[in-house]
Structure 1
Amino acid sequence: MLIKAYAKINISLDVIGKREDGYHLLKMIMQTIDLYDHINIKRLDAGINISCNKPYIPIDDRNLVYRAADIFINTYNIKGGVDIYLKKNIPVAAGLAGGSTDAAAVLKAMRSLYEIDIEDRELMNLGLKIGADVPYCIVGGTALCEGIGEKVTKLTNFKNQILIVVKPSFGVSTKEVYKSLDISKINKHPDTDTLIKNIEEHNLFRVSKNMKNVLENVTLRKHTVLKNIKNELISMGAMGALMSGSGPTIFAFFEDMLKAQSCYDRIKKKYKEVFITRTI
């Protein structure tokens, strides 16, 4: 099977509490975008064999793809293995769920390859053991994600919105960002209900003005270049710009392709990984 594993952005990200085990309680609106990794997967008699087009990507149990295959084989007592070739396009350590979406795609592919009759919900529960974004990546589209990410509610589809995605030359550790977050110092939380209403009305202008990510409090303070990227995108015609996930990727919505293309042509001269894409 040859499958596409799609990246996501956060139209909003709110931290509303913390569990006793240290996990943060989240309320966020996630959105799939048309930027994806290719995964080629086939059955083997035994074992898990992973290869990748990027030499810096681990191909052992540090990789979420490996862990997805391993957990699936062990959970359903599979008599066999898989060979996986991963062609990475989604930037790494970027806040775009690159590893999580690959893991989700592998879980879905293995369900088909080995003809295991299970619902998405069961697959999502399995995915949660790999990472908090994996359950959402199994569902995709426009969704409200709550808890530690495992409660996924589908929203009105916010597809075909044009955006530019800018990933600067460094990565960010999600764990470190959450560790540095002081919930008591979050002065302004996203208005999630209003954003959901804006999405239902397909009002890109209001979505762009109301979108918010509380993790910017940490990541933008550590990396001031991200503020510059946001300002540059807005000065080049974006309706609004926001950091995705724990960062450092910044995305911006545009009302038409002409403005987006003009911005893309200029900003890609400054930053290595720049994409012009759409919500799907």
Structure 2
Amino acid sequence: MDSLVLNAPAKINLALQVQKLREDGFHELKMIMQSISLADKIKLSKSSEGISLSSSSNELPLDNSNLAFKAAESFFSANQVEGGVEIYLEKNIPIAAGLAGGSADAAAVMRGLYKLFELEEQTAKVKSLLAQLGSDIPYCLHGGTVYATGRGEVLEQLPELDKKHLLVVTPAVKLATPTVYKQYDNLAAESEFNFEAILKNLKFEEKVNWSLDYKNDLQPAAESLCPQIKEVEELLKESGAEFTLLSGSGPSVFAVYPLAKQAEQAAKNWPRKTDFITAAETIPSY
């Protein structure tokens, strides 16, 4: 095999609770993470030596500050293989948007390199390598519906959701995750979450009960930095969404609709012309 193409799906957070600040400077978290059909596309091609990276986006760094590049470096450091790789990223996921686009790319590159060089993917080893690059990258290795704790790297697979029809809206503002967490600390809000009820709902009940604590503790902080988030959420509710929530540290907001055609119609009629907007759906693990 000389080359392959694979998807790097985005993720949304169905719930995100921020807990105590750890000694390493990160917060303890409880999250429900979910893969969606919005995805970057990645092509990997064998080369004689080294790592090269190119992209459809001119906003991405193409050196070893890029997570996809770092994932390739980690792969070659951990495995005795000859040759190198050329990586091409077709960017479809908005950057710095709370959708884990960079993390998804890194995980897909790692997953793809094991296939390209025909090595057995030892999941625990690979997740350990990815955890050194970023907290949510191990999740992006195989996605699905997952309960994540720690910094986001301790993962428990949950039963797959029935397909949910979504609209994802990203205002034309970039929010850096550390900035949002710093604002969260500045606001000194106390989290009130019944996570056990959420887990019980997802593990044992047929339908998602959106009236439970499916919420995001980072939302007030993100809204204070990007007031457009509130306007987006109000418009989504007016369009007939049954549930809306900020994803990750934002500014992306997603909405759940009973039918795919409702999400598609809301996208077609969306009034804010500078937003990124796409209809999508939840997907199982991959």
1:96 aligns with 2:84: no
Query: Greater shift after overlay, 110-119 or 178-187?
Result: 178-187
Change (3 A) 1:124 1:159: farther
1:278 to 259, 277, 281: 281
Please, which of 28, 31, 36 is the counterpart of residue 28 of structure 1? 31
Equivalent positions of 1:68-107 (< 5 A) are 68-107=71-110
Residue identity in the other structure for 1:69: A
Q: What amino acid sits opposite 1:82 in the alignment?
A: V
% identity of equivalent residues: 37
2:66 paired residue number: 63
Which residue of 177, 182, 187 maps to 1:179? Answer: 182
Q: Matches of 1:220 and 1:42 in 2, distance apart?
A: 41
Alignment coverage as a number of residue pairs: 279
- Residue 203 of structure 1 aligns with which residue? 207
What does residue range 1-280 of structure 1 map to in structure 2 within 5 Å? 1-182=4-185, 185-200=188-203, 201-204=205-208, 206-207=209-210, 210-267=213-270, 269-280=272-283
Q: CA deviation at 1:99?
A: 0.3
The separation in 2 between residues aligned to 1:184 and 1:222, in whole angstroms, is 12
Q: CA deviation at 1:171?
A: 0.7
Instruction: Output the aligned Cα RMSD.
Output: 1.7
How far is the alpha carbon of 1:197 from its aligned partner?
Answer: 2.8
* Superposed displacement of residue 70, structure 1: 0.6
Write the letter of the residue equivalent to 1:169. Answer: A
- The aligned amino acid for 1:57 is L
Contact kept in structure 2, 1:190 and 1:213, CA below 8 Å: no
* CA shift for structure 1 position 24: 1.0
Cα contact 2:173–2:226 (8 A) shared by 1: no
Q: Which runs of 5+ in 1 are unaligned?
A: none
How far apart are the structure 1 equivalents of 2:147 and 2:168?
21
SS at match of 2:133: coil
1:29–1:143 Cα contact (<8 Å) kept: yes
Letter of the structure 1 residue corresponding to residue 163 of structure 2: N
- Pairwise CA distance, 1:120: 1.2
